[in-house]
Amino acid sequence: MKEFNTNSLVRENILKLQPYISFRDHNEFNAPVLLDANECPFGEFNRYPDSSQKRLKNKLAAFKGVSPAQIAIGNGSDELIDLIVKIFCEPKKDAILMMNPSFAMYGFYAAVNENEVLKLDLDENFEIVKDDFLKIAQERDIKIFFLCSPNNPTGNSVEDIEFFIQNFKGIVVIDEAYIEFSGNKSAIELLSKYPNLIVLQTFSKAWGTAGARVGTAYASEEIIRFINTVKAPYNVNSLSQELVLNILDDEKRLKENVQNVLQERAWLEDQFKTIKCIEKVFPTDANFFLIKMKEGKMVYEKMLEEEVLTSQRSPAIQDCIRINVGSREENEKLINVLKEI
């Protein structure tokens, strides 16, 4: 691609913004007396967490094969999405582009920031029509393009991702929340090739720690500096940082989680063939299915009566319900309820 200038896309006030810097976290001490942050001297978690998340970034860098300076840690991926919009999009002026249907929070945070949300309708197979993308990318001045792959709620991966990075003038954010279930390579491998790329990942899905709320962004050092400038000083708590540091030492846990989910996914897919109220099960690379029902509203409500909670996608995707893969016990209850319907 042509020479890329990150500063030309960043809001002017963000370029001038000075980050909050914790003196304690940016210096080395042997046995300091901590009287600088107005903390209580008593208690198990009485000290503020490391605002720069140095240990976590170093461990993640080794795990992902990038520099620690290419990593930002967020209070879930949601915080990172919000920060990215705030960094690049001038309120009431700039626009973002997202797939339709896709993860609603891209549009939500853009709307909070008073930015226009442009939606790229997917085809009948939930794939991007390249000509439609090129048309809107050329005709409109768009700051950010959010690509979710595998996509939520459709479950399929975006094909030919480099095409969209190469043909977009702004920032491309690839959200890989479900990448571990797909078998596809991560776009992190493309960071050295495309300076306009940001890759989001999370510990909420395959790692099984949604309650910890830890998301990660991988990008150029320049983009990461802006994220670290705008983020809150202590945005990820000490408990969550320690939890993630510990589970990164246990890669076996990740592999077992993914293997178990894939086994249950295959079992469910086989069981769905016997369910009369199911019209179509869409292909999935994620830990969930998008399913078209013969009477979606009725099926959803019947499951809810039996306390089987699913995600109704109608009317946006007519008669469709998103159902994520559970444990065998949960999955068996789901199938039994559907058979009764």
Q: For the segment 28-79, what is each residue's pLDDT rounded down to a tens digit?
A: 889 999 999 999 999 999 999 999 999 999 999 999 999 999 999 999 999 9
Residue 1 has pLDDT above 70, yes or no: no
Most confident of 27-31, 84-88, 249-253: 84-88
- The CATH number of 6-22+48-249 is 3.40.640.10
Task: Give the whole-angstrom CA distance, residue 126 versus residue 99.
Answer: 9
Q: Where are the domains of the chain?
A: 6-22+48-249, 252-340
What whole-number distance in Å separates Cα of residue 39 and Cα of residue 325?
A: 43
For 164-179, what is each residue's pLDDT tens digit?
999 999 999 999 999 9
DSSP string, 182-223: T-PPPGGGGTTT-TTEEEEEESSSTT--GGG--EEEE--HHH
Whether 2 has a pLDDT exceeding 70, the answer reads no
Read off the pTM.
0.95
Homologous superfamily, domain 252-340: Aspartate Aminotransferase, domain 1 (3.90.1150.10)
Segment 93-109 shows an average pLDDT of 98
Among candidate residues 136, 87, 137, the one with its CA nearest the CA of residue 113: 87
Question: Which pLDDT score, from 0 to 100, does residue 137 have?
Answer: 96
What letter does residue 230 receive in the DSSP assignment? H
Same CATH topology for 6-22+48-249 and 252-340: the answer is no
